[in-house]
Structure 1
Amino acid sequence: MFQSKLKTIFLSVMVTALALSLISFPQESLEGSVRGLNMWWKIVFPSLLPFFIVSEMLIGFGVVKFIGVLLEPLMRPLFKVPGVGGFVWAMGLASGFPAGAKFTARLREEGQLTRIEAERLVSFTNSSNPLFIFGAVSVGFFHNAQLGFLLALAHYMSNICVGIVMRFYGRDQSVRSDERRKKFHFRAALSALHQTRLKDNRPIGKLLGDAVTSSIQTLLMVGGFIILFSVINKLLYHLHITDALGKVIGIILSAMSFPDMLSVPLISGIFEITLGSQLTSLDLDSTLLQKAIITSFILGFSGLSVQAQVASILAQTDIRFKPFFFGRILQGFFASVFTLILWKPVYLRIQNHEQPSNALPVFGEGVLWTNDLFNKIVEIGPQITILTLAFYVMILFYRINKQNVKKS
């Protein structure tokens, strides 16, 4: 009872302090809000929406169940999750945050995952997508295409390590023990696909409409969190809280032979991944290796903004947030260690590769398309967002009218 009251008081004080800060720094709050809004409607919304819609339809048509049956022999021994976890993992890698959490929650609602399996799965299926790592971070912030290979390799290797560690989390329910011994075949997978489709029984038009509305509702929630944490990050800086925390972090970094100037970018990255990565790239007192290690930690930890998005999605189910948070800490440290280990065999080997002076970097050609695609999304992102939201309003208007007609 006392802890509950203490929590109520703490939350009330924090919200009141935030409200007073918004009143005290209106211009700075507006700048933070605009920055978060630009990030959402230019990049996040147009890049995530197609993945969300297609994934919802794949789940409805039974394709995910089909993939799950085929991948069961791989995912179960390696990560102690059902084969459908392979789909969630792949979509999380391709589309980025918070896709893994959304699809995990969706499969948990359908009963395809137990709570323990869902908590294992969500801990390692949320990651930065390649477009963000190569296009925004390596080329956009560091102006170094080759660095993207190091950051991506460290990020996804640490992702796998988190999954392997989290396989030891929790106890499996006894009903799952028989499933682990089964050997599924292609015919069984096709049968599962057909049965899932029959069970869903929604017309294609209804399925598509539900996929669009569900995806847009999730992305609207994501946009709210991005804007909120962008404002909070701005206020923390102007309230000198970032500097105060930076001094504490600076002592820890100095003990690890890192420049204490990296403390402010690290603090910013703990709150918001994009700003932290950008500030890290701008630091002039650090070596590229040191900045790469800090950036890898930020990418692995993902930032409290992303974690708040995931927490909001998981709150709609019985999946607990703590395993996900623990996984983010693990991935941050794993990614930093892998960056240090792979620096010489990966980055320096690519960087020192001899080539004609008038040629493009050998390994840089592979990421040029990601930079072009990223810039294209930023350019046409607002138009895509506005048109999609207009389509969303039309669907809602149509459904409300249809319900009113049925009632009358």
Structure 2
Amino acid sequence: MSRLLCRQRVREVLLGAALLCATLALLLYPSDAIQAAKDGLLLCYNVIIPSLFPFFVLSSLVVELGLAGYLGRLLEGIMRPVFNVSGACACAFALGFIGGYPVGAKTAIRLYETGMCTKTEAERLLAFCNNSGPAFILGVVGAGVFASSRVGVLLYLAHAAASVCIGVLFRFYKAGPRSAAGEMRPQPRFEARRFTAAFTGSIQNSFRSTLNICAFVVFFTVVIKLLFLSGFLPALARVLGGVLAPLGMTQAWTERLLTGLIEISSGVWTLSGDGTMAGRMSMAAFMLGWAGFSVHCQVLSFLGGSGLSVKTYLIGKLLHGGLSALFVSGLVRLFPLRAPVSDYLAEQVAGIAALEFHTALTISTVCAWVLFLFFLFVACAAARKGLGKRRRPVL
């Protein structure tokens, strides 16, 4: 089967058949496709743009101004023994937890492009720094889907713990003195005189990156809607449900899993229906760790011609989903939760899109600039410390 798919003509035939089916689906369900696109655009307007754009600007400024290099001098003693990466990679790790996907991955790629880290270190970062933000897990998943802030906290703790474990595991990726000696990185430079150029460039590049992400969100929102209307996704769920039946997976649970594998926002909202609390939380944890093909396409668009391997990223996300689900199942046993009595009636995308734009934008912008000022303060302290050592007379 794999040899058959490797042939170019077979791939072209399959791609042509897929495009033909997509065209037929758009012709058969035009109003539903338009409504799905509107829901995706509303989601981008109310959530994606205000939550990601400020952090994209922040991550770009931290790298372009050389702040990551000075942070690396202070955090080298932590990042190197734990994750086997340079201290400059700490900004990608921090922004990945606070800004959500794909801020961490974009920062890691930019660190590699500017010479702040080696190729191997960037590939290690991609495996564990592209995480869901606390606003999405605590607000949307915890409060919105499960109507419980306690559930959100448990999911976020499991998500963070799994990410750290993946980082520790991938510290052995291409480890060895030979690989370390073959990759050199230039010394970082703090160029404050370039702030104007860096600021305007960060705004422009961040806006293009945000629009790129919005395009993928709208596309996959329409795709999921058409897959359900055409009956393809339910049929695939029936087939996989029979295969996964020994694991306790029914058709309904399989449909939820497939939806989450494609797009995380739609996937987590399917968990607001029936099912045990432990089962729904474990699946939510897996979806949050895996992130969905929509997020993966966003990361791949940033990789471009960087030369970084996508294998470590995909393997890391798969392991992240599995470990998150495992940790949640353990936390639920330690802190038992009862399923709420009320029913949660929420559309898959409309529930998230109902968030107020100005509130989300204000919170996201304030958090981004507070974090930027913190990075700037630490970098200035490191620079002053370095200058003090240089001026110290030699006895």
**TM score, norm. by length of structure 1:** 0.78
In the TM superposition, residue 50 of structure 1 has moved relative to its aligned partner by: 1.2
1:42 aligns with 2:46: yes
Q: 1:222 to 1:179 in 2, by over 3 A?
A: closer
Contact 1:150 1:347 in 2 (8 A): no
Contact 2:89 2:125 in 1 (8 A): yes
**AA aligned opposite 1:133:** I
Q: 1:249 to 1:149 in 2, by over 3 A?
A: farther
In the other structure, the counterpart of 1:394 is none
Q: Which has the larger displacement, 130-139 or 375-384?
A: 375-384
In the other structure, the counterpart of 1:331 is 320
Q: Structure 1: which 5+ residue stretches go unaligned?
A: 181-191, 353-373, 385-408
Q: Specify which of 12, 15, 37 is matched with residue 33 of structure 1.
A: 37
Q: Structure 2: which 5+ residue stretches go unaligned?
A: 340-351, 363-395
Contact 1:138 1:148 in 2 (8 A): yes
1:264 aligns with 2:242: no
Contact 1:277 1:298 in 2 (8 A): yes
Q: 1:178 to 1:324 in 2, by over 3 A?
A: closer
Task: Render the CA deviation track for 1:368-397: whole Å, top value 9, x for unaligned.
Answer: xxxxxx99963427999xxxxxxxxxxxxx
In the other structure, the counterpart of 1:53 is 57
Map of 1:393-404 to 2, 5 A cutoff?
Answer: none
Give the Cα separation in 1 of the matches to 2:327 and 2:51: 28
Give the Cα separation in 2 of the matches to 1:228 and 1:169: 34
Q: Specify which of 3, 6, 20 is matched with residue 7 of structure 2.
A: 3
In the TM superposition, residue 132 of structure 1 has moved relative to its aligned partner by: 0.3
In the TM superposition, residue 307 of structure 1 has moved relative to its aligned partner by: 0.7
Kindly report structure 1 stretches of 4+ aligned residues shifted beyond 4 Å. 177-180, 374-377, 381-384
1:307 aligns with 2:296: yes
1:378 aligns with 2:356: yes
Contact 1:293 1:339 in 2 (8 A): yes
In the other structure, the counterpart of 1:279 is 270
In the other structure, the counterpart of 1:196 is 189
In the other structure, the counterpart of 1:188 is none
Root-mean-square deviation over aligned CA pairs: 2.7
Q: 1:34 to 1:243 in 2, by over 3 A?
A: same
Contact 1:250 1:260 in 2 (8 A): yes
SS of residue matched to 1:69: helix
1:93 aligns with 2:86: no
- The aligned length equals 344
In the other structure, the counterpart of 1:366 is none
In the other structure, the counterpart of 2:223 is 232
**TM score, norm. by length of structure 2:** 0.80
Map of 1:97-108 to 2, 5 A cutoff?
Answer: 97-108=101-112
SS of residue matched to 1:196: coil
Q: 1:114 to 1:9 in 2, by over 3 A?
A: farther
Give the Cα separation in 1 of the matches to 2:175 and 2:19: 38
1:128 aligns with 2:121: no
In the TM superposition, residue 110 of structure 1 has moved relative to its aligned partner by: 0.9
In the TM superposition, residue 170 of structure 1 has moved relative to its aligned partner by: 2.7
Contact 2:45 2:357 in 1 (8 A): no
**AA aligned opposite 1:229:** F
Give the Cα separation in 2 of the matches to 1:72 and 1:3: 47
Contact 1:72 1:84 in 2 (8 A): yes
**AA aligned opposite 1:378:** E
Contact 1:270 1:302 in 2 (8 A): yes
In the TM superposition, residue 136 of structure 1 has moved relative to its aligned partner by: 0.5
